[in-house]
């Protein structure tokens, strides 16, 4: 596709339920990033992938959060036993390579609301 | 560690007036610096980036930013605001080596008044 896509665009769930968020990066981009954007806050780094490996998981807020990437393409961010503080916009980005000066291209995000 | 401070969570300018959005960074090593724009219900879009070439960087939509090492600043400017510039703007910093995450500021919402 032309850009990064994410699904669903909106997700409302009940506290305690698990959710899966999907990211389709730009074709050929080897690096993929997940960020969280809480209301009125900047973007908070969660995790990044180089190929299918995740060298840096330092941003995951708790062990309820996990992510995987397959085929050096699609990535899934899973939040188990959701809490109200997980409510946020989850943004995915990809870049052609994992280098500091590379531009990251962002998807439109998934808005998660935990009731 | 790197950090970014954006002064002013909300800036309001008149159409045709100068736009100035402030960004100061903290980095123990030479940084790469980025400005992203986020329109309502859309993802972030890169406006411009500094990667240690020219200190004055020109971006899309008439925006530019100047890297000033002595002031640890990377302010975003546009000579004449347009209604379509109304959006959220984020400054971000990253180390110029190693695999470290992009660190974002909290953002500045720009309103343009007709």
Which DSSP letter does residue A26 get?
Answer: P
Question: Residue B102: its pLDDT value, please?
Answer: 86
Q: Which residues of A touch B103 (CB under 8 A)?
A: 45
Contact, B93 vs B33, CB < 8 A?
yes
Of A3, A42, A103, the CB nearest to B46: A103
Interface contact B106-A100, CB threshold 8 A: no
Is residue B76 less than 8 Å (CB to CB) from chain A? no
Interface contact B45-A106, CB threshold 8 A: yes
Question: Residue B33: its pLDDT value, please?
Answer: 93
Tens of pLDDT along A65-104? 999 999 989 999 999 999 999 999 999 999 887 777 788 8
Tens of pLDDT along A7-30? 999 999 999 999 999 999 999 999
Question: Residue A8: its pLDDT value, please?
Answer: 97
Question: Which of A53-62, B3-12, B26-35 is most confident?
Answer: B3-12
Q: Which residues of B touch A59 (CB under 8 A)?
A: 101
Is residue B35 less than 8 Å (CB to CB) from chain A? no
**What is the distance in angstroms between the Cα of A83 and the nearest Cα belonging to chain B?**
23
Of A42, A43, A56, the CB nearest to B99: A56
Detail the DSSP E strand segments found in chain A. 5-7, 10-13, 19-24, 31-37, 43-50, 53-56, 65-69, 75-79, 88-95, 105-106, 110-114
Is residue B105 less than 8 Å (CB to CB) from chain A? yes
Question: Residue B99: its pLDDT value, please?
Answer: 63
- C-alpha B69/C-alpha B67 separation (Å) is 6
Higher pLDDT, residue A98 or B23: B23
């Amino acid at each position: 596709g032309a850009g990064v896509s994410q699904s669903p665009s909106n997700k409302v769930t009940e506290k305690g339920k698990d959710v899966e968020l999907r990211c389709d990066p730009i074709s050929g981009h080897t690096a993929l990033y997940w960020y969280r954007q809480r209301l009125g806050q900047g973007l908070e780094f969660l995790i990044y992938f180089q190929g299918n490996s995740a060298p840096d998981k330092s941003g995951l807020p708790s062990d309820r959060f996990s992510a995987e990437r397959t085929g050096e393409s699609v990535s899934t961010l899973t939040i188990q036993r959701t809490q109200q503080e997980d409510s946020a916009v989850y943004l995915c980005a990809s870049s052609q390579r994992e280098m500091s000066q590379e531009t990251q291209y962002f998807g439109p995000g998934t808005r998660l609301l935990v009731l | 560690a790197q950090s970014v401070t954006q002064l002013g969570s909300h800036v309001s300018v008149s159409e045709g007036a100068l736009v100035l959005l402030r960004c100061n960074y903290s980095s123990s090593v030479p940084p790469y610096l980025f400005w992203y724009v986020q329109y309502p219900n859309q993802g972030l879009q890169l406006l411009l980036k500094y990667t240690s070439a020219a200190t004055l960087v020109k971006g899309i939509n008439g925006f530019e930013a100047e890297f000033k090492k002595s002031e640890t600043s990377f302010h975003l400017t546009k000579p004449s605001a347009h209604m379509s510039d109304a959006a959220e703007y984020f400054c971000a910093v990253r180390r110029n080596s190693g695999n470290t995450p992009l660190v974002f500021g909290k953002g500045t919402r720009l309103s343009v008044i007709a």
